[in-house]
Structure 1
């Protein structure tokens, strides 16, 4: 509510429960000037559908890249002689 009243154009909703996400969307929808709402934190491929149903505008899923193994790649450039 404070962020909306301060004129925020984008708000990150980090580690919000589904109930709090619904409440944030409700508050945003009733605001004169709406902000872009992004849900983040604790979101996985298993629960992203439920988060999407809350009505937020964006969803960040850090779990996609959090536990991957890095691959060592290199590129050699051989000049034309």
Structure 2
């Protein structure tokens, strides 16, 4: 399996985080639970839920797009 390099960690101030309220979305019907997005997320905002599908914590997500680029089935998007 090809190793994926992680993007640099970006931090937003609390004030900018409120303005920057988008978060990655995971289509639960498309997600295969491979965990690629979990490993690629620089802030740890993504975890696998009880069904084995990726779930994003919108309060931790910084919209860097790292998860979008590694999802093999296109289940992760930024709105």
- Which TM-score band applies after superposition, normalised by the shorter structure? under 0.3
> Rg larger in 1 or in 2?
1
Structure that is richer in helix per residue: 1
TM-score under structure 1 length normalisation: 0.27
Higher relative contact order (CA 8 A, sep 6+): 2
